[in-house]
Amino acid sequence: MDGILTGSPYDRPARGTTVQKTTMPRNTIILGAALIVLGGVAYLASGLASWTALIPAILGAVLLVCGLIGLRSPKVGVHIALVIALLGVAGTFMNVLQLGELFAGTAERPLAVITSSITFVLLLIYIVLGVRSFIVARRWRNGDGETQG
């Protein structure tokens, strides 16, 4: 692994060495696949009755495509994926607010609340990872990437 950035994401490689490509396109593909599985499971759990249970799968398919684009052009693919993730967080937020009703046993659509909450958390984690990767990339590009204690 000589010449590849290892260890802390804040470590800056010596001059003349290569830098490991960002992991965000891979994270995007993994998230997309996870959301596709979540949507499929939710659709099956709904008894194939509610197409809206497939919304996480549709979102996941779009993110998967963004991740594949990101393998060739990380900046473009990941930026588009993060915008989609933000829209997904906004779209699932209303159902997440019904978690109290779910725990009280009074939720009108418990499957939608559970699925939306899982989607919301996964997308939020992805957004945090994406913002963090942008910060690290900016620090490295500006030469401020010395190890942070």
User: Residue 109 has what DSSP assignment?
Assistant: -
pLDDT in tens, 11-34: 444 444 444 457 899 999 999 999
pTM of the model: 0.77
pLDDT in tens, 43-81: 999 888 888 889 999 999 999 999 999 999 888 999 999
Give the chain's radius of gyration (CA, Å).
Answer: 19
Q: At what angle do helices 110-142 and 74-96 cross, to 10 degrees?
A: 150
Distances (CA, A) of 14 to 9, 40, 134: 14, 46, 21
| Domain limits, the chain | 24-142
* Cα separation, 38 vs 126, whole angstroms: 16
Name the band, by pLDDT with cuts 50, 70 and 90, for residue 149: very low
